[in-house]
Structure 1
Amino acid sequence: MNYKYIIVLFCIALPAYFLYWYFLIRPTKYGTVIILNGPSASGKSSIQKEFQSITYPDSVWIKVGIDNLFDTPMPNITPENMHLWQSQNNLRWVETSKDNHENNIITLFVGPDGDKIAYGMNSAIAAYAQNECNVIVDYIAYKKEWIIDLQNKLANIQTYWIKVDIPLEILEQRERTRATSPAGHARSHYDTVHWNIAYNLIVNSHTQTAAEIAQKMKEFVTNKYLYKQKSLE
């Protein structure tokens, strides 16, 4: 028997098996992600806070989203540079129009540099989960490409997609009351924000309070977890 060949084969096979085990077999422990997707002013941040409150200290959920991972990192909008945000550029801009019923529509457009920030946001969401954090996300899917990218990055992570529904009339009332975004912005993406996503759960922030929705989500996620654990036994 030629021991030299055996040693060579062993030296090749061992690293190959280690790589196979590390990337394909090695058990991984990730956090869970909840994506709250819905239009601006639909109450997602209130749901986040309520969910955090009723799950702590049994479990810790961190809240992130479109505001602190996409909007806040952008350059500030000031009176001096306002004109930059009202014409097409590589980052983002808004355009004002009216629909067939003369309703005001303020549409956000995102350029290639803005898309990079959105994809960075998606990577950050996945990174939190990969570091064993449970994450509840306030999301507005302005582009279908954002959703595809996020789904790919969360492919190996337990993720629950939750649709936050609300009648447009009620949504616009909230938008005017809150005054955190210009009237007409929510209408601009109301019909497109869901992009035929296969949701795990649908909630209505008009017929249910944030506390009621949070409780429903907690029960849903808990039951899914218990069912998964039972299936593994």
Structure 2
Amino acid sequence: MNGQVIVLNGGSSAGKSSLARQLQNVLPGVWLTLGVDTFIEALPPALQSSDAGVNFGPDGQVTTGETFRRLDMAWSRGVGEMARHGANVIVDEVFLGGADSQARWLSALEGLNVLWVGVKCDAAVAERRELERVDRVVGMARLQAELVHQGVRYDLEVDTTHTSTSACARQIAALVLG
């Protein structure tokens, strides 16, 4: 029996990781949270700052190379296979390519029960959250706030600007359990 998949897409510091943790608390059963940060942490250090891998510019710009893109495709297909073998998965993602990124995930998750969720947050609020964190390049939140949603189709959009992650998680859970 296939597992279910929830794809959370939003810019840096939009609240996706906190939302994923809340979903793990409110949804029945076991839900794994996997995402772009998990993937980047799995890369060897040489690919975490290289033209072939991923680069984080001083202005928050993120660029990826051919090796990164090839491994990212394998990663997304692997996540799909986990769900095909019964794992419930929350994907915490940043669609830098907008609709093209979603198309890659659509292919990887073909045939599965997927809920597509846009996690939005006002750029100024995300930027403030970003400044409070030590693990982010300043500028990513503002650059990604709208970019990651361009051309992407969602089943649900939540906004963490003024709504708590627990309230957003309850909205999502209602659709999953509905």
Matches within 5 A, 1:59-98: 59-68=29-38, 70-76=39-45, 85=49, 89-96=51-58
- Letter of the 1:89 counterpart: D
Counterparts of 1:32 and 1:60, CA distance in 2 = 11
Can you list the C-alpha shifts for 1:72-111, whole angstroms capped at 9, x where unaligned? 122227xxx9xx93xx722122334xxxxxxxx3201001
| TM-score, normalised via structure 1 length | 0.71
Judge conservation of contact 1:35–1:160 (CA < 8 Å) in 2: yes
Q: Sequence identity, in percent?
A: 24
Matches within 5 A, 1:10-89: 29-55=1-27, 58-68=28-38, 70-76=39-45, 85=49, 89=51
Counterparts of 1:197 and 1:93, CA distance in 2 = 24
Q: Secondary structure at the match of 2:146?
A: coil
Judge conservation of contact 1:118–1:146 (CA < 8 Å) in 2: no
Where does structure 1 lack aligned partners over 5 or more consecutive residues? Answer: 1-28, 97-104, 224-233
**Bigger Cα Rg:** 1
Give 1:11's aligned residue: none
Give 1:160's aligned residue: 115
Measure how far apart 1:189 and its partner are.
2.3
- Letter of the 1:72 counterpart: E
Q: Secondary structure at the match of 2:107?
A: helix
* Root-mean-square deviation over aligned CA pairs: 1.9
Measure how far apart 1:51 and its partner are.
0.9
Measure how far apart 1:40 and its partner are.
0.9
Measure how far apart 1:218 and its partner are.
0.8
Counterparts of 2:55 and 2:26, CA distance in 1 = 38
Counterparts of 1:191 and 1:167, CA distance in 2 = 9
Counterparts of 2:6 and 2:65, CA distance in 1 = 27
Paired residues, what number?
177
Greater RCO (Cα-Cα under 8 Å, separation 6 or more): 2
Measure how far apart 1:46 and its partner are.
0.8
Give 1:183's aligned residue: 138
Give 1:216's aligned residue: 171
Matches within 5 A, 1:83-122: 85=49, 89-96=51-58, 105-122=59-76
Where does structure 2 lack aligned partners over 5 or more consecutive residues? Answer: none
Give 2:147's aligned residue: 192
Counterparts of 2:146 and 2:21, CA distance in 1 = 26
Judge conservation of contact 2:124–2:142 (CA < 8 Å) in 1: no
| TM-score, normalised via structure 2 length | 0.91
Give every structure 1 segment of 4 or more consecutive aligned residues whose post-TM-superposition deviation is greater than 6 Å: none
Measure how far apart 1:146 and its partner are.
3.1
Give 1:101's aligned residue: none
Judge conservation of contact 1:36–1:136 (CA < 8 Å) in 2: yes
Can you list the C-alpha shifts for 1:57-84, whole angstroms capped at 9, x where unaligned? x32211111111x21122227xxx9xx9
